[in-house]
Structure 1
Amino acid sequence: MRFWEIGFIIVNFVLLAWILFTETGRKRWSIIAMTVAYCLLIVQLTVEGYRWQMIPAYFSPVILTVCFLLKIRKINVRNWLQITVKTLLLCIYLSVAVALPTIMPMFSLPKPNGPFMVGTTLFYWVDHQREQPYTKDPRDRRELMVQIYYPAGDEGEGNREPYLRNAREVGKGLEGDLSIPAFTFSHLDSVKTNAFTEARISNAEKQYPVLLFSHGFNGFRNQNTFEVEELASQGYIVICIDHAYNAAATVYPDGRTAYFQSTNITGFSDGDRHIQLWKDDVAFVLDQVEKLNRGGLDDRFKGKIDTSRIGMFGHSYGGATAAQMLAEDSRINAAIDMDGTLYGAKIKESGIGKPFLLMSAEMSEDDSDEFSIEEKHRKKCALAGGGMSLIIPNTDHTSFSDFHLMSPLLRSPGEDPRYVHRIINEFSLAFFDLYVKQGGNISALEKLSEKYPEVNFKVN
């Protein structure tokens, strides 16, 4: 919980307990207590803003007022039944008031460790060469929202980017998949990231290498902010893609929203066919990045992008897309697949032939025998010839995203999401420094293997 939320709850419940259980008290002190309660409410709402999880706590000044009006302060201390009932009711109310903001907290993202501040900007790009397969009008083109995080030279106007610009729409898109009401995500537009909106790109280096990020089905471009900000702070331009109609929600500049539409992927044949759409999205974005570097789209990035040093990473289906792009597009030098089933064209048994790291969760989400056999074969092929792999203990499929910061109810037993994120960040950075930035060495990965022996890091 935030500072003023904690103070508001503590002070108001102390005052409520005082009114309920003190034998005597002057009217003047009761009025002062209510004044303090309402003032704290106003301060909290003004400084930190409203969120629905605090509704039970917001009622505490009202209860104070009712208690005063009914004059229930004057109780018989010898009436133990009365005292017990009041104590029980107070404890239940306090538990509810504290529980809601605790299980759906205003979480904070880890501070990036790199030497750069982080800036971010949003682009709306239309691929006029491709139809939009999810709409009925054949004239519709494929429209993408792309958010770029980059090393910043200053804080710009000092405005920190919200975690989600369109929390209501994304919440609605997530509702069906997570079986959580959409309104529970409404506070995510009040969570602040470490990135500064529209900040100036740093001139500390002549050019910066590029990393592309692809989310999973019904994910969203910001779902790995913990990782994206760290990589940007370390000197990478990170480009995050919303795969429209396969993301939870993609909101376009004119207000239209492309909500998630089911793809009915029930096996490898469906997943293998559908991935072409995502690969085409990534290829188009790569084309746009080249234009961006030439100054045709945004002059601030002109000449700042090193298009000879490009990597990609993704979660779930986005991880499979990263592996496919690594195998098929010469512009991608290295890739990380975070717990993504390897859909797409089958990889040669000799391997991809370029640096590839497969991060896996301890708890597999697919356990059918037929699926497992095929998946194991595909992993074996992808990792052949020098591919790398690791398994992080106490994790499930969504551990490789920000989701487990949003609520402790989403976490795996025994999982510390910040520890898991630290492992992901350190291995990702060492891998990309070696194979994309081309300034690291294999010893950095070996040292991480010694630092985190539980992850079972392997080079095939």
Structure 2
Amino acid sequence: MLILDLILLTVVLILAGWRLFAPAAQPSVRIAGVGLGFVVAVAQWLLCGFTWQGLPAYLLLALCALPPLRNGRVLRWTGRLSFCGIAALSVGVWNLPAVPTLPRPDGRYAVGTEIYRWTDISRDEPHTVDPTDRRSVIAQAWYPAVRRETPQSGARLAYIDGIGRLPAKVSGMPSFLMRRYGQIDTNAEPYAPLAPGKQPWPVVIFSPGYGAPRAAYTGLATQLASRGFVVFVLDHPYESAATELPDGRVVGTREILLPGERSHIPYMVREQVRRTADLRFVIDQLARPEALSSPLRGRVNAAKVAVIGHSFGGAAAIEAMSEDPRVVAAANIDGTPYGDLPDRQLTRPFLLLQSDYAETHHSTFFLNGNGKLLANTTAPAFRYEIRRANHFGFTDAYFYLAPPGRWLLAQAMGGARGPAETQRAVADILAAFLSEPLTGTASDLAETAARYEDVSGGAVKRKGGASVPAAAG
């Protein structure tokens, strides 16, 4: 919430309370208070822009400007109820702030960012009827940057693609709520100089959950980048809730079920294959010097990458590692593997991070599929469960609410650990897991996980011995 938004809400609530409990106050004092409110409202509108969250506050301010109601008890009580109702509505809608605040990453590096919109001319785009349409993949890079006392001013990269042109809903959220999401501070400087040090920098490719835009993982991506990784977070067009294609079009989700299909599982199997192809295409792009611009050109290691993902993206990460030797490690965050993926044998390091089973209630497909993968792996494998974290705590979704709203949501859906602590723990665990396969530097994963309360798990015995999952659930 921007400071002017908070000031406006505070002023109109004070005026409303004054109107209700001190109706006989001096007219000059009332007029001065209302005048101050209008000045704040105009400043907020001009500097921040209109959003629906401000409507109850504007209406309440207008009611405060009316002369006191003096004619009849019914009229007075009607006015009082109107004031109370609109005041309550103001507080309620402001739990969905117009401009959410993301926590600052706490690693040793500042964070830079830039966006790449690539097209794979070798693949058709199956979600459209245009036979000439080719598959595109959008990748936003978050990378370790030079820490500067005063970051250079310049255009901020919007938190989410397509502000002002979004589909009606974005991951189930009405897009008009996101009108000012372009003002969100992502805690990253666009095109900032890459931090000196590692040559080349280790690369992590991140695939989002089904239907989620890459923006929803900004908090986790910046945390990981601040720990010394170049993180490419992808949008998979027509799966993501909102994607801006290379030609400027903004598209939403389009599901394609074949005739006779009575469930989404066959579709998810096909999309898992398509996502895997997207991931491998991105690795191909990273190996092409001309595909990257400064400051990343020639500064990343495309021959040895890690792939991680949340939910459906976690399944794609596993499949990418099982098929591409350039993927030297994979991490699945709360994802269910589809198709024949659970029966494959993983030969490179694998990490399963899961939310609290008691809160997320993982499906049988999740438990059995990941259980098989862990049992059949011939490489180092690890499994951790993060207690008091639910499926959405890995994303920015909880940050879209003000703190009171987050608390209420946690009472209803779980996730009392909170997204900030959840993402911090995940970033540290991922950094410890990825250190050796990507940089050759050993790191004590168990010690890192033990620093966090209620994180249980550890190494899983490899195939050939008794396979014992290290975390419950």
AA paired with 2:311?
Answer: S
- Structure 2 residue 444 is the aligned partner of structure 1 residue 451: no
Task: With the length of structure 2 as denominator, give the TM-score of the two structures.
Answer: 0.84
AA paired with 2:39?
Answer: C
Equivalent residues of 2:110, 2:226 under 8 A apart: yes
SS at match of 1:111: coil
1:16 maps to what in 2?
16
Deviations 1:80-124 (A, max 9, x none): x98776655433322110110114563211211122221111122
Mean alpha-carbon deviation: is it higher for 11-20 or for 56-65? 11-20
Match of 2:157 among 158, 161, 169: 161
Q: How many aligned positions are there?
A: 443
- Structure 2 residue 311 is the aligned partner of structure 1 residue 310: no
Q: Offset of 1:299 from its aligned partner? A: 4.2
Equivalent residues of 1:38, 1:61 under 8 A apart: yes
SS at match of 1:223: helix
SS at match of 1:340: coil
Report the RMSD for the aligned CA atoms in angstroms.
2.9
Runs of 5+ in structure 1 lacking a partner?
none
Equivalent residues of 2:310, 2:335 under 8 A apart: yes
Q: Offset of 1:171 from its aligned partner? A: 5.2
* Cα distance change of structure 1 residues 194 and 89 upon mapping to structure 2, 3 Å threshold: same
Match of 2:385 among 385, 391, 400: 391
- Structure 2 residue 125 is the aligned partner of structure 1 residue 126: no
Q: Offset of 1:158 from its aligned partner? A: 4.3
1:144 maps to what in 2?
137
* Cα distance change of structure 1 residues 65 and 348 upon mapping to structure 2, 3 Å threshold: closer
Equivalent residues of 2:235, 2:243 under 8 A apart: yes
Equivalent residues of 1:356, 1:387 under 8 A apart: yes
* Cα distance change of structure 1 residues 134 and 196 upon mapping to structure 2, 3 Å threshold: same
Deviations 1:137-166 (A, max 9, x none): 222211222211122235443444332132
Runs of 5+ in structure 2 lacking a partner?
461-473
AA paired with 2:281?
Answer: F
- Structure 2 residue 38 is the aligned partner of structure 1 residue 44: no
Alignment of 1:224-263 (within 5 A): 224-263=217-256
Deviations 1:148-203 (A, max 9, x none): 112223544344433213245555352xx53x433233332232210112223233
1:319 maps to what in 2?
314
Equivalent residues of 2:204, 2:307 under 8 A apart: yes
Match of 1:109 among 74, 98, 102: 102
Mean alpha-carbon deviation: is it higher for 202-211 or for 162-171? 162-171
Q: For the residues of structure 1 that align with 2:275 and 2:436, how far apart are their CA atoms?
A: 26
Equivalent residues of 2:51, 2:98 under 8 A apart: no
Q: For the residues of structure 2 that align with 1:23 and 1:284, how far apart are their CA atoms?
A: 68
Deviations 1:216-266 (A, max 9, x none): 221112221111111212221111211111111211243322321114483
SS at match of 1:166: coil
SS at match of 2:314: helix
Task: With the length of structure 1 as denominator, give the TM-score of the two structures.
Answer: 0.86
Equivalent residues of 1:348, 1:381 under 8 A apart: no
AA paired with 1:303?
Answer: G
* Cα distance change of structure 1 residues 12 and 211 upon mapping to structure 2, 3 Å threshold: same
* Cα distance change of structure 1 residues 5 and 302 upon mapping to structure 2, 3 Å threshold: closer
Q: For the residues of structure 2 that align with 1:55 and 1:162, how far apart are their CA atoms?
A: 24
Fraction of identical pairs, as percent: 26
Q: Offset of 1:395 from its aligned partner? A: 3.3
Match of 2:349 among 352, 355, 359: 355
Q: Offset of 1:353 from its aligned partner? A: 1.7
SS at match of 1:222: helix
Equivalent residues of 1:169, 1:249 under 8 A apart: no
